[in-house]
Amino acid sequence: MSALPATMPTPRDEHWKYANLRGLARARFEPSVSPPAETVARITAALPKPLEGFERIVLIDGFVSSVSSTPSAFTTTSPISIAKLNADRYFLELNRRLRSDTLRLAVARHQKRSVEVVVVSLGTSHPAIEIALAEGAELSLIERHLPLSADATVINLVIFAVVGVHAQFELSRIVQASPKAQHVETIELRLCEGSASKFFQLTTGAALSRTTAFAAHDGRDSSLEWHAAALGEGTQSHDAFVHVAHSAPSAKTLQQFRGIAADRSRVSFTGHMRVDTNAPYAQCDQSLKCLLTGSEAEADVRPQLEILTDAVRASHGATVGKLDPDMLFYLLSRGIPEESASSLLKWAFVSDVLRRLSNPAIRAEIEYSLERVLPGAVAARSGT
Amino acid sequence: MTEIQAMLSIKDLRTTVGSRKVLDGLSLQVSAGEVHAIMGPNGSGKSTLAFTLAGRPGYDVTGGSVSYCGEDLLSLEPEARAQRGLFLGFQYPVEIPGVNNVYLLKAALNAARKQRGLPEVDALEFLMLVREKMKIMQMDESFLSRGVNEGFSGGEKKRNEILQMLVLEPSLAVLDEADSGLDIDALKVVANGVNALRAPDRAIVLVTHYQRLLDYIKPDRVHVLACGKIIRSGGPELARELEARGYDWLLIEAA
Ligand SMILES: Nc1ncnc2c1ncn2[C@@H]1O[C@H](COP(=O)(O)OP(=O)(O)OP(=O)(O)O)[C@@H](O)[C@H]1O
Ligand SMILES: [Mg+2]
């Protein structure tokens, strides 16, 4: 195979300082093999029932293997990456080299679609999803990873989205790979004038996960909400680097991260926001928090604001802390067992992010995934 | 009163908080059916006593013993104490945003039921129980769906403590300044709530600064906590005497 136009990141690369590069270096990124028909049939039969009102598309090891309705015709050449640094493009280029299918989702002018993409990984996969929203289009997309295999699967996923003028995009992701999986992903969003995008991500699975994301406000008055939560336990490591560039006036970004590092896990999030000279009247709000619950756990949150113009309204906060002992004691003093009490408080901590989810079906789905790691927590919110 | 009958028997209790010896040889007996009031100057250790009984981490017992319903209370985890019917009403109830108020009530009730070998409470039965108790506390149902104490006013937090107590029906309630920060009407509501719990098989320990509360909740015994111990005990008339004379005369006598 000829050399990639990019090289594997190293700890010297600014955006990869907290990534588990040793773990990534051990991952074997091989071309994926098309799953046999009986495997596809078996998996398809085992899938949970589709979300009501959503078209379902299933990706097995990166192959588009079942589509409940035909995706709209959509032709494009693969978009140009926003990522400028070689290191940031490495996994992207690797995906382009090794990917099998590219799932293209397009929503025509003023049309509305709700799509559920189920991602199943059995071996090595390089899923690729390219999304285009035309002017005034609306897309609600939920992407769920089902940990159907207990093996050490390897995933290198790429998502590209262009959110057209005045389009509305909601992308909700549940990254819950198998406990031994290695999971890398590159996400790029181009936001056109007057568009509104909401991004949610819950990461609970994988031995190691790394998210590299770039979002660019290319048109004026565009808005982006980026809400992410990551829960690490055992020796898991979850690392995210999210770069948001304001390149046009009056754009808004709200970014929230809530991470919980239990046991000996590592959770880190770097949120970099850049407001260019030609992007005045920007509004940037950032709140990054991590909870350390394991004595040998590590957590890092790094807010980075780079503002090159005046007239910007910005706020940011970043904290790493422990479970509040007063809250914990209050719950214990009511007879709540210690494990449930700390589960409740973790839930409460993450709920800052969840309460922004407007779609009840997606919210229920995300809460259900969270319930697996924080038992009893869903009931605590709904009070049932 | 023999020691065997006392529901709560505290003997020579010594508690250190941080590096400070706060309780220094405190003894107290409370029998089922009784209401005891504990008064004393600011910083004398009233809340420390309450927290020590509830098992708050950081309140280190360096000596003495506490038996509760025949068990060694100090050997139990805080949640086990609560499950066995000990309830602490906080002087400063804690806000827990994101944890639903009614959920806490239900989870707490179920934890206590489990300890007694009972099944989880039926949803409808629970709702009716909570509604009935909220009526006593004159609380709006909207409080149920809010986060625990989240954004509650000082008085609302105190009502919520008593509501929890009424739902849990503890054998022993230790109420730390249930009356502080309450308006005149709320004081009556809280007193009503506490009186509703009075029963021959239950005991209540009220920490308070004011005689006023004791006009509504008639105590069997009144104690003065100062210098880390109970320096004087008496009947309801002791509270009135304190109201009139303050603590100085007692402190001088004790010294
Ligand atoms: N962590 C700590 N380190 C040192 N001293 C402490 C600590 N916590 C409490 N204390 C001290 O212990 C003493 C007893 O406090 P406590 O809260 O029990 O008093 P109190 O009788 O309840 O007072 P009040 O009437 O004001 O509520 C006080 O002097 C207080 O400053
Ligand atoms: Mg006090």
Q: What does the pLDDT look like over B223-252, one tens digit per residue?
A: 999 999 999 999 999 999 999 999 999 988
* Distance from the A377 Cα atom to the nearest Cα atom in chain B, whole angstroms: 9
Cβ of B48 less than 6 Å from ligand 1: yes
Per-residue model confidence as pLDDT tens digits over A176-212: 888 889 999 999 999 999 999 999 999 997 899 999 9
Alpha-carbon gap, residue A20 to B240, rounded angstroms = 69
Q: What is the reported pLDDT for A187?
A: 98
Alpha-carbon gap, residue A222 to A194, rounded angstroms = 4
Number of H helices, E strands in chain B: 9, 12
Among positive and negative, which fits the CA dihedral B88, B94, B96, B102? positive
* Distance from the A328 Cα atom to the nearest Cα atom in chain B, whole angstroms: 9
User: Is residue B121 pLDDT above 50, yes or no?
Assistant: yes
User: Is residue B91 pLDDT above 70, yes or no?
Assistant: yes
Contact B79 A344 (CB under 8 A): no
**Inter-chain contacts counted by CB atoms under 8 A, chains A and B:** 89
How many other C-beta atoms can be found within 10 angstroms of the C-beta atom of residue A30? 12
Report the amino acid identity of residue B144: L
Could you tell me if B196 and B166 are in contact, meaning their C-beta atoms sit under 8 angstroms apart?
yes
Q: Which residues of chain A neighbour B164 with C-beta distances below 8 Å?
A: 334
Cβ of B22 less than 6 Å from ligand 1: yes
Query: Which residue in A112, A220, A242 sits closest to A173, CA to CA?
Result: A242
Instruction: Indicate the SS3 state at residue A146.
Output: strand
Per-residue model confidence as pLDDT tens digits over A264-323: 999 999 999 999 999 999 999 999 999 999 999 999 999 999 999 988 999 999 999 999
pLDDT category, A383, cuts 50, 70, 90? very low
Low-confidence winner among A189-203, A324-338, A361-375, B12-26 (lowest mean pLDDT): A361-375
Query: Which residue in A227, A228, A306, A224 sits closest to A267, CA to CA?
Result: A228
Nearest chain A Cα to B170, which residue? A334
Report the amino acid identity of residue B164: Q
Q: What are phi and psi of A313, to 5 degrees?
A: -105, 120
Say which of A333, A348, A349 has its CB closest to residue B88. Answer: A333
User: Is residue B3 pLDDT above 80, yes or no?
Assistant: no
* Distance from the B96 Cα atom to the nearest Cα atom in chain A, whole angstroms: 6
* A267's tokens: 């959770």
Instruction: Indicate the SS3 state at residue B77.
Output: coil
What are the b/e assignments for B97-112, b being 16+ CB within 10 Å? ebbbbbbbbbbbbbbb
Strand runs (DSSP E) across A176-297, as ranges?
Answer: 182-191, 196-203, 208-217, 223-232, 237-246, 252-261, 266-275, 283-292
Task: State the Cα torsion A107-A109-A112-A117 to the nearest 10°.
Answer: 10
Contact A380 B103 (CB under 8 A): yes
Instruction: Indicate the SS3 state at residue A109.
Output: coil
What is the average per-residue pLDDT within B121-133? Answer: 95
Alpha-carbon gap, residue A249 to A313, rounded angstroms = 12
CA–centroid distance, residue A133 to ligand 2 (Å): 61
pLDDT category, A148, cuts 50, 70, 90? confident
Instruction: Indicate the SS3 state at residue A29.
Output: coil
Alpha-carbon gap, residue A256 to A351, rounded angstroms = 11
Which ligand 1 atom is the nearest neighbour of the CA of B58?
A: 1
Q: What is the reported pLDDT for A26?
A: 86
**Surrounding residues of ion ligand 2, Cβ less than 5 A:** B 46-47, 91
Q: Is B112 on the interface with A (CB under 8 A)?
A: yes
Query: Between vectors from CA A124 to CA A120 and to CA A129, what angle results, nearest 5°?
Result: 60
* Distance from the B54 Cα atom to the nearest Cα atom in chain A, whole angstroms: 7
Q: What is the reported pLDDT for A379?
A: 60
Contact B98 A333 (CB under 8 A): no
Q: Is the reported ipTM for this assembly greater than 0.85?
A: yes
Question: Interhelix angle for B123-136 vs B154-168, to 10°?
Answer: 130
Report the amino acid identity of residue A275: V
Global pTM reads 0.88
User: Is residue A378 pLDDT above 70, yes or no?
Assistant: no
From the number of C-beta atoms within 10 Å of its C-beta (0-12, 13-18, 19+), residue B74 rates as middle
How many other C-beta atoms can be found within 10 angstroms of the C-beta atom of residue A333? 25
What are the b/e assignments for A131-169, b being 16+ CB within 10 Å? bbbbebbbbbbbbbbbbbbeebbbbbbbbbbbbbbbbbb
Q: What is the reported pLDDT for A73?
A: 44
Contact B111 A335 (CB under 8 A): yes
User: Is residue A382 pLDDT above 70, yes or no?
Assistant: no
- CB proximity list for A370: less than 8 A, separation 6 or greater: A202, A204, A231, A347, A350, A354, A377, A378
- CB proximity list for B22: less than 8 A, separation 6 or greater: B15, B16, B45, B48, B228
Query: Which residue in A161, A228, A229 sits closest to A195, CA to CA?
Result: A161
Q: What is the reported pLDDT for B153?
A: 95
The DSSP annotation for B168-220 comes to H--SEEEEESTTTT--HHHHHHHHHHHHHH--TT-EEEEE-S-HHHHHHS--S
Mutate to test the pocket of ligand 1, among B14, B20, B52, B209 (most ligand atoms within 8 A of CB): B20
- Per the prediction, chain A carries an average pLDDT of 90
What are the b/e assignments for A66-99, b being 16+ CB within 10 Å? beeeebeeeeeeeeebbbeeebbbbbbbbbbebb
Per-residue model confidence as pLDDT tens digits over B51-61: 999 999 999 99
Alpha-carbon gap, residue A259 to B194, rounded angstroms = 42
From the number of C-beta atoms within 10 Å of its C-beta (0-12, 13-18, 19+), residue A324 rates as middle
How many other C-beta atoms can be found within 10 angstroms of the C-beta atom of residue A105? 20
For chain B, the farthest-separated pair of C-alpha atoms sits apart, in whole angstroms, at 57
* A241's tokens: 């680097």
Helices of type H across A47-152: 86-98
Strand order of the sheet with strand B59-68?
A: B20-31, B6-17, B59-68, B71-72
CA–centroid distance, residue B46 to ligand 1 (Å): 8
pLDDT category, B96, cuts 50, 70, 90? very high
* A347's tokens: 């839930």
Query: Which residue in A255, A254, A250 sits closest to A219, CA to CA?
Result: A250
Could you tell me if B215 and B37 are in contact, meaning their C-beta atoms sit under 8 angstroms apart?
no
Per-residue model confidence as pLDDT tens digits over A119-132: 999 889 999 999 99
In sequence order, what are the beta bridge partners of B147?
Answer: B100
Query: Which residue in A83, A88, A84 sits closest to A16, CA to CA?
Result: A88
Q: What is the reported pLDDT for B1?
A: 46
Per-residue model confidence as pLDDT tens digits over B141-183: 999 989 999 999 999 999 999 999 999 999 999 999 999 999 9
Per-residue model confidence as pLDDT tens digits over B70-81: 999 999 999 999
- Per the prediction, chain B carries an average pLDDT of 95
Q: Is B54 on the interface with A (CB under 8 A)?
A: yes
Q: What is the reported pLDDT for A25?
A: 87
The percent of residues in chain A predicted with pLDDT above 70, rounded, is 94
Instruction: Indicate the SS3 state at residue A66.
Output: strand
In sequence order, what are the beta bridge partners of A213?
Answer: A187, A242
User: Is residue A54 pLDDT above 60, yes or no?
Assistant: yes
Which ligand 1 atom is the nearest neighbour of the CA of B50?
A: 18
Ordered by start, the domain boundaries in chain A are 14-322, 324-384
Query: Which residue in A227, A278, A225, A272 sits closest to A250, CA to CA?
Result: A278
Q: What are phi and psi of B96, to 5 degrees?
A: -130, 85
